[in-house]
């Protein structure tokens, strides 16, 4: 049994609800050296901590809980590492984290990390409330329910975002170089951990199998094996693996998945320790599949999803279609602390089969394919009725939605023109609404549904269609 399989190695970014944690060994190690601190140095370090604790406990203006001081000390030390993936989780956060790996949990279904002073959406889960509301990879969270998150920890931000099923949270995000932040309302729901979805597409050239992996949880490999066996029994001439928007998960899970698709002719990844020593990880497969395989990736494909993409590309030469991935090249190990809390510490880097470190760079696709502009549109939320003569950023979103659905508008600068009014009337007639040309709540709701239906249609998915076309040409 390989060394890593004896430990819980996690290569995902933080899931919503995860928070900062720290490794106690930081006190026992000198900077970046591998030698342990000498006993005198350890004694001096703890003596300083004890003095600080005693001073606070005896002299601070109010009573302080010892446990609160300990949590604060641990969080402060881990913050000094400058590593968003090393975190300390108290009992409640640890429980939420474990739920996110092997059961359903309540939230918005997005993965968040911290880069410098910014809180970044890594990826919303496929079909999650976050995705449906319009949150995108690389959105920077600025506010939660109207309150700035600037001075908060990752734990505090994620705790504010989580909440009971059915409740709503307003998340203000900065997207790209937009002049104004977007305020997106998300209705919390149960986030299921059904991580594998399969389909079988009929084409003039044969049948193409499709396996979507939304995250790498404990049962993912087992579920994928069953779905793959079903597709192969029905007959497929090619296969598409879809890890778009997949934020990562368990290393053991992605290893078991790769055991289905890449051979052991070379390692599918290397784990590099702080000493520089590298451990190669190999598949158990000896013979590759008799059909061609394509992997779909995008900016929301992170961590374990990138391990899969790199293995498929660099071991077997299978093409990657889509957009450059997120870029997370580190591996974390989880430690239980005995009281229900956990530490998750970055222990090593992972390298691709060709020994590349893709951290903060990502993996570029073999074939770059972008989605139609309508895929980037945020569901339109407006408390006022949009009508002719108005000039507002929300009107610009409305115009882009109409154009994306084929209702042509003469401008997209936010001025509610006569052409915009006519397009709204045409849409209202088709939707069975009062066709007065004014975009009220009912009209905007139907537009959002129409956009979602558009995006769910495989024919509008340019990346998927490119994969099908590639497989048809390379059977």
Q: Is 123 a catalytic residue?
A: no
Q: Which of 252, 332, 399, 463 is catalytic?
A: 332
Q: Is 86 a catalytic residue?
A: no
Q: Tell me the three state secondary structure of residue 462.
A: helix
Q: Is 328 a catalytic residue?
A: yes
Q: Distance between CA 80 and CA 74 in Å, rounded?
A: 10
**What's 4's DSSP letter?**
G
User: Residue 252 corresponds to which tokens in the numbers above?
Assistant: 């053991």
Write the DSSP string, 255-302: HHHHTTT-BTTS-SEEEE-TTS-EEEE--SB-S--SSEEEEEE-TT--
Q: Distance between CA 401 and CA 209 in Å, rounded?
A: 32
Handedness of CA 215, 216, 221, 222 (dihedral sign): negative
Q: Which of 114, 126, 289, 328 is catalytic?
A: 328
Nearest-5° Cα angle at 294, 289 to 298: 145
Q: At what angle do helices 304-316 and 251-258 cross, to 10 degrees?
A: 30
Q: Distance between CA 306 and CA 104 in Å, rounded?
A: 24
User: Residue 133 corresponds to which tokens in the numbers above?
Assistant: 């509301």
Handedness of CA 30, 34, 39, 40 (dihedral sign): negative
Output 6-9 pairs: Cβ under 8 A, ≥24 positions apart. Answer: 7/333, 7/334, 8/250, 8/333, 8/334, 9/250, 9/251, 9/252, 9/331, 9/332, 9/333, 9/334, 9/347
Closest CA to 267 of 302, 237, 310, 234: 310
Q: Distance between CA 418 and CA 227 in Å, rounded?
A: 51
List CB contacts of 128: < 8 A, sequence separation 6 or more.
Answer: 108, 109, 110, 189, 191
Q: Which of 86, 253, 283, 303 is catalytic?
A: 303
Helix, strand counts (H, E) of the chain: 12, 20
Contact 262, 268 (CB under 8 A): yes
Q: Tell me the three state secondary structure of residue 36.
A: strand
Contact 201, 207 (CB under 8 A): yes
User: Residue 310 corresponds to which tokens in the numbers above?
Assistant: 């790199």
Annotated catalytic sites, by residue?
Answer: 303, 328, 332
């Amino acid at each position: 049994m390989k060394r890593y399989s004896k430990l819980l190695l996690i290569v995902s970014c933080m899931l919503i609800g995860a928070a900062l944690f720290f490794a106690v060994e930081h006190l026992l190690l000198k900077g970046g050296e591998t030698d342990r601190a000498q006993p005198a140095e350890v004694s001096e370090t703890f003596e300083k901590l004890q003095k600080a604790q005693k001073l606070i406990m005896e002299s601070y203006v109010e009573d302080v809980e010892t446990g609160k001081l300990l949590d604060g000390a641990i969080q402060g030390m881990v913050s000094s590492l400058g590593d968003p993936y090393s975190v300390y989780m108290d009992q409640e956060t640890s429980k939420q984290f474990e739920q996110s790996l092997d059961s359903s949990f309540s939230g918005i279904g997005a993965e968040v990390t911290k880069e410098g002073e910014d809180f970044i959406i890594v990826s919303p889960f496929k079909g999650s409330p976050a995705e449906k509301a319009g949150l995108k990879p690389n959105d920077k969270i600025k506010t939660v329910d109207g309150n700035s998150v600037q001075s908060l920890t990752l734990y505090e931000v994620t705790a504010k975002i989580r909440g009971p099923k059915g409740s709503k949270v307003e998340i203000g995000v900065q997207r790209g170089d937009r002049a104004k932040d977007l305020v997106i309302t998300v209705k919390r729901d149960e986030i299921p951990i059904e991580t594998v979805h399969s389909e079988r597409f009929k084409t003039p050239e044969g049948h193409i199998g499709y396996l979507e992996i939304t995250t790498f949880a404990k049962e993912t490999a087992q579920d994928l094996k069953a779905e793959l066996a079903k597709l192969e029994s029905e007959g497929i001439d090619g296969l598409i693996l879809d890890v778009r928007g997949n934020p990562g998960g368990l290393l053991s899970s992605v290893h078991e998945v790769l055991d289905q698709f890449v051979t052991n002719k070379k390692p599918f990844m290397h784990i590099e320790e702080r000493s520089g020593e590298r451990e190669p990880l190999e598949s158990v497969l000896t013979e590759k599949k008799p059909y061609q395989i394509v992997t779909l990736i995008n900016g929301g494909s992170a961590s374990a999803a990138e391990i899969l993409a790199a293995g498929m590309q660099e071991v077997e030469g299978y093409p990657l279609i889509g957009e450059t991935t997120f870029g997370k090249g580190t591996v974390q190990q989880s430690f239980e602390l005995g009281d229900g809390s956990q530490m998750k510490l970055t222990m090593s880097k992972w390298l691709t089969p060709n020994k590349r470190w893709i951290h903060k760079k990502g993996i570029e696709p073999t074939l770059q394919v972008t989605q139609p502009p309508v895929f980037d549109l945020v569901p339109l939320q407006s408390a006022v009725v949009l009508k002719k003569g108005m000039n507002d950023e929300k009107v610009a979103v409305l115009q882009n939605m109409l154009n994306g659905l084929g209702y042509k508008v003469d401008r997209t600068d936010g001025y509610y023109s006569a052409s915009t009014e006519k397009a709204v009337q045409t849409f209202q007639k088709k939707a069975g609404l009062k066709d007065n040309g004014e975009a009220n709540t009912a009209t905007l709701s139907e537009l959002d549904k129409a956009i979602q239906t558009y995006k769910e249609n495989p024919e509008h998915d340019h990346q998927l269609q490119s994969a099908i076309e590639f497989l048809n040409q390379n059977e």
